[in-house]
Amino acid sequence: MIPFSPLNPMHPLAKPTLALATLLAVAPVFAADSPAPTTPTMKADVATYARLAGEVESVLKKDVLEKFFPAAEDKEGAGFFENFSANWTRSRNNATRSVVYQSRLTWLAAQAALFDPARAATFKALSSHGVAELANLQWDKANGGFFWAVNVGGNPTNQQKHAYGNAFAVYASAVNYSVTGDAAALDLAKKGFAWLEAHAHDTKNGGYIEAMNADGTPMAPPGAARGPAAPPAPATAAAAPIAPANPAAPAAGPGARRGGRGPGGANANDAIGTPVGQKSMNSHIHILEGLTALLEVWPDRLVKERVQEVYDLSLAKIYSEPGYLNMFFNADWSVVRPARGGDSYGHNIEAAYLLTDTAKVLGRPDDAKVWAAARQLVDHALANGWDQANAGFYEEGNLDGSAITKANKCWWVEAEGLYALLLLHSHFGKETTKYWDAFVQQWNFITAHQLDQVNGGWYSYVTPDGSAPTAQAANSKTDQWTEGYHQGRALLNTAALLKKLAATK
């Protein structure tokens, strides 16, 4: 049986989630050789879709939008404050503005304007406040491109220019334009794309060079060494024990949260934890996301070529059978294996729907190849990264399925899993109930354990059983990597899809 802890009775979702937990108490767990239970945990019908949509929207409002806005807005300075304590008190150290955090809150505010028409004007203004920060402070007026981080005066505190960060700035600016119609935001997105094209696009091998100096030249790896190409290492569906914690692994920051520490070692890694000089899955799936958003508002021929290029690389090089993503690559796209870990379940499930989203924009919403890949990515994550005892996804494991290397439940992984499971249910629900069953269990885990029942918001990390937040999560709600993008996007998409299912069932 899968044990679930009920919500704090003071939480607004206590009653529906307690009822949900009662239904789930009789649900079977995933067997080691099966990616999902075969008996439904609850009936997938119009009433259930509608009720869950209401629950999801409630969490979006109370635990995401109302926590970040307007509290994060720096009304006297630039952009958004990045550091909040556990009870959402603004930390004193709030002078840094990192391009990823600023872009993500800019994006979130724009999306909130569409979600909440009654407050659309407020959210549009917040998003435009973020665009102004990106344009006036984050953008390098001498060399172009977005700095990784600046202070409130616009002076760079980290002059690295990374394709990942620049892609998020393009993404945020394009989405702001789609909501506000502000031509300046579209111009900024176009400038960001042009800079990436001039400095980061790899004309020889395809894809993008990731870490660059302030002048736009590629950062040189220490010793200019490259790891050897590795043969395929398919993961298995065998039960995976949890490996002992790696004492060398970072406790926080990009290396811990967005793709793991690369095989090059800490001193050789760039701003997102990738060995300098290598390409990463993490950057390229988000470059794809950002350029796809730009293509939606600016149907430029070259933008479409680059979207198609990264889409094709994602399916041909990054995706691998039987359903995982290679994490690191040499410039020629030969795979570099990390010594430990290497199977990022959160990225697997995130990429599943990012690829299907791009397929729609490219005019192929029913592309059988991409839907097959999406299904295998989710099936693989369920078979290898699903917590059979408590529900929810682990963060990372070994590629051969031999061990779970990061067992704590991470906010962005759980959020991405929620929408990916529902998306697969919407597409394959007539064939199987397994995605719906896992979706219901995932939602229950999030509402019971990932949400802070006292202070509101999401814990960045909780223990595998969800009984407590990790030490860092108990003391801090946000930093440069922990904002409202993942959970906001997942909840927006999930609520919209639940409503669509309720209307078409």
Return the exposure string of 20-53: e unless at least 16 CB atoms fall within 10 Å of the residue's CB, then b: bbeebeebebbeeeebbbeeebbebeeebbebbb
Token pair, residue 214, equals 């302030």
How far apart (Å, rounded) are the C-alpha atoms in residues 488 and 403?
30
Checking if the pLDDT of 204 tops 50, the result is yes
Q: Are strands 396-398 and 404-406 parallel, antiparallel or unpaired?
A: antiparallel
Q: Could you tell me what percent of the chain has a pLDDT over 70? A: 83
Confidence of residue 224 (pLDDT cuts 50, 70, 90): low
pLDDT grade for 338, boundaries at 50, 70 and 90: confident
What is the rounded average pLDDT of the residues 121-140?
A: 98
402: region left, alpha or beta (phi > 0 left; psi from -120 to 50 alpha): alpha
Give the pLDDT of residue 300.
Answer: 98
Neighbouring-strand partners of residue 479: 482
Locate CATH 1.50.10.10 in the chain: 1-64+359-505, 96-244+267-336
What pLDDT is stored for residue 228 in this prediction?
41
pLDDT tens digit sequence for 484-493: 999 999 999 9
pLDDT at 14: 38
Residues 399-406, mean pLDDT to the nearest whole number: 93
User: pLDDT per residue over 273-290, tens digit each?
Assistant: 999 999 999 999 999 999
Q: What is the b/e burial string over 77-95, where b = at least 16 CB atoms within 10 angstroms of the residue's CB? A: bbbbbbbbebebeeeeebe
Angstrom distance (rounded) from CA 374 to CA 352: 4
Residues 59-109 have pLDDT tens digits of 999 999 999 999 999 998 889 999 999 999 998 878 899 999 999 999 999
pLDDT of residue 222: 79
Which of these, 106, 138, 136, 104, lies nearest to 123 by C-alpha position? 106
| Residues contacting 123, CB < 8 A, separation 6+ | 69, 109, 110, 112, 113, 116
Query: φ and ψ at 206, to 5 degrees?
Result: 85, 160
- The pLDDT tens digits of the residues spanning 342-359 come to 999 999 999 999 999 999
Q: In the CATH scheme, what architecture does the domain 96-244+267-336 have?
A: Alpha/alpha barrel (1.50)
Helix intervals (H) in 368-453: 368-385, 411-428, 434-445
In the structure, what pLDDT confidence band is assigned to residue 241 with cuts at 50, 70 and 90? low
Top CATH class of 1-64+359-505 equals mainly alpha
CA distances from 258 to 164, 192, 209, 281, 376 (A): 11, 22, 18, 10, 21
**The predicted structure's pLDDT at residue 172:** 98
Instruction: Summarize pLDDT for 298-316 with one digit per residue, the tens.
Output: 999 999 999 999 999 999 9
Confidence band for 183, pLDDT divided at 50, 70 and 90 = very high
Q: Does an H or E element contain 358, and which?
A: helix 345-361
The region of weakest confidence among 36-40, 186-190, 347-351 is 36-40
User: Which of the residue ranges 157-161, 262-266, 468-472 would you say has the lowest mean pLDDT?
Assistant: 262-266
Give dist(CA 291, CA 289) in Å, integer: 6
Question: What is the per-residue pLDDT for 476?
Answer: 94
pLDDT confidence of residue 322: 94
